[in-house]
Amino acid sequence: MNVGVNSTRLNLRLDGWRSRLLLITLITCFAGLAGRAAWLQGVHAGFLQQKGDERYSRVIEMPASRGIIRDRNGQPLAISTPSDSIWASREDIALSPGQYRALAGLLHMDPKEVEQRLTSGHGNFVYLKRQVAPEVAQQVMDLGLTGLYQQHGFHRAYPKGEETAHLVGFTDADDHGQEGVELTYQAELGGSTGARRVIKDRTGQIIEDVESIRVSHPGKDIVLSVDGRIQHLAYRELRNAVTLNRAKAGAVVILDTQTGEVLALANYPDYDPNKREHLSGAQLRNRAITDTFEPGSTLKPFTIATALETGKVTPTTVIATGGGQMTIGSSTIRDTHPSTALTVAQVIQHSSNVGAARIALALPPETLWNMFTDVGFGQTPKLGFPGEAGGRVRPFRTWKPIEQATMSYGTGISVSLIQLARAYTIFANNGMMRPLSLTRVTTPAPGRQVISALTAHQVSDMLELVVKPEGTAPAAQVRGYRVAGKTGTAHKLMDGRYVNRYVASFVGFAPASAPRVLIAVMIDEPAGNSYYGGMVAAPVFSSLMGNVLQMLAVPPDDPTSSAFDLPHPAGTAAAEDT
């Protein structure tokens, strides 16, 4: 009996010990858990929050709509349309062969290219395709593939395509300006992107909009000085001229002489800014602004204007032209149409190299250099356009007599077409030069007097003689209007020597009695039946000027003229010297 009693008491004592051990163990565990919770939620909370955010919280950019580029009449030249990008997280995505094919089919990509982008490369983030149509992007997301995401944005479109490509330019996949006006006015057009913090589930769907981090601001619209109708005409006529003359390239600049506004600026060859995946540098060059050439005889009016300003000559002063030949040192200057003497006005009308050279050599080199630099040669036009060329005018102290003589008729000096056009505005605007503008002008900027109004009118009168039947450019005449202008034909300088390739040009304005429009035409390396400016570039000027003046409702100042009754220009134009 005693043994049984003792055994029961022992069991009771053992049970109590086990209960206490269990209690202590539970208390210790709860204390450990409480401590761990305090550590995680107090000391280590930031780290855990960060890891959680990486899995579910996202900061998404809210793209800003880029500003519209319009012509002076409000017509859109560049607009933004919604487009999306498809990107993936390499760590989260795993596709079957069938899924690769389905995804590639929607994105119009090769399945192997999709697989390569998802499985190779550095980093977790990868774009599969940019600028996808929203409806296509939604079809991709409807596939329900884990690790695949959609990013909203905009795509730039250009309604006028090739016509305005070199002027307007284009943007890249991130909607940043790369060329032309798009690059020049990037700060104004681009606006500023916004940002929001959101919570996404594992499939990339937004389940909670947490907060706004930064508000987006759309870009500002830009209104250009260009008239879309005139731009269309300029592009069409230039393309036809380059094709007809089998030329390498060409450019046209049209200015409003009263305001300095660029009404049109066209180049050919062209490119389509809506399809810019495979563009080369040659296609992108805005030749009217970035390329320079020796202007040839289009520079003679500035030589004559310098001499008139200094009082060395008058329009009727007779210049001995030595039978169309003049020797300086070991070099000989020749005229295409020899004569023993010409008046200053006839030097311009018949484009005499000898006459221009004799007038230039009678002037101090510095005086001639001052004229060239005063009209902007050797300096950038300051349009803010990317790649603006300044051309070249050598310092006058280094000029040799033969160099001073040849520069008088545009050899040994280089200019861009936009520079040449701007320089000619002094003859169309009473000797005053205004800054050029690519944006619409409400109040013209103050001008700078370069030559006297008298000299400007005298040179303008001489330039009118150029388009007469006895001049070098009767093909530049415009029915109903008095026209003033000058031809140019220059050998091209290649690898340090002149070759039998040419640049043909014509610069002129109308109506000559009260100039409103100035047009400069350049045709590079014409290879047709002629290469002279009067036969290649002047017809382009004539067609353009007639249409532009009518479009702007400029009243005729010579209603009795019948320019279109003239014989074909190839049979009437006198070739100018080169």
182-190's contacts with Cβ under 8 Å and 24+ in sequence apart are 182/69, 182/78, 182/156, 183/386, 184/383, 184/384, 184/385, 184/386, 184/438, 185/222, 188/67, 188/219, 188/220, 188/222, 189/66, 189/67, 189/69, 189/219, 189/220, 189/222, 190/64, 190/66, 190/67, 190/219
Given the DSSP bridges, would you call strands 125-132 and 148-157 parallel, antiparallel or unpaired? unpaired
Q: Which two tokens stand for residue 552?
A: 């702007």
Contact 447, 542 (CB under 8 A): no
Which letter does DSSP use for residue 110 in this model? -
Instruction: Round to whole Å and give the CA distance between 430 and 114.
Output: 65
Instruction: Round to whole Å and give the CA distance between 180 and 384.
Output: 10
414: phi then psi, degrees, rounded to nearest 5: -125, 145
- In three-state secondary structure terms, 337 is coil
List residues with catalytic annotation: 297
Per-residue 3-state assignment (H helix, E strand, C coil) for 192-214: ECEEEEEEECCCCCEEEEEEEEE
Estimate the crossing angle of helix 417-428 against helix 453-466, to 10 degrees.
110
Our CA angle for 490, 338, 247, nearest 5°, is 25
Given the DSSP bridges, would you call strands 341-343 and 318-320 parallel, antiparallel or unpaired? antiparallel
- Residue type for 356, please? A
Q: Which two tokens stand for residue 32?
A: 């450990």
Instruction: Round to whole Å and give the CA distance between 180 and 9.
Output: 102
Q: Which two tokens stand for residue 524?
A: 């590079």
Strand ordering across the sheet containing 262-268: 262-268, 249-256, 517-524, 497-510, 484-494
Q: Which two tokens stand for residue 478?
A: 């415009």
- In three-state secondary structure terms, 424 is helix
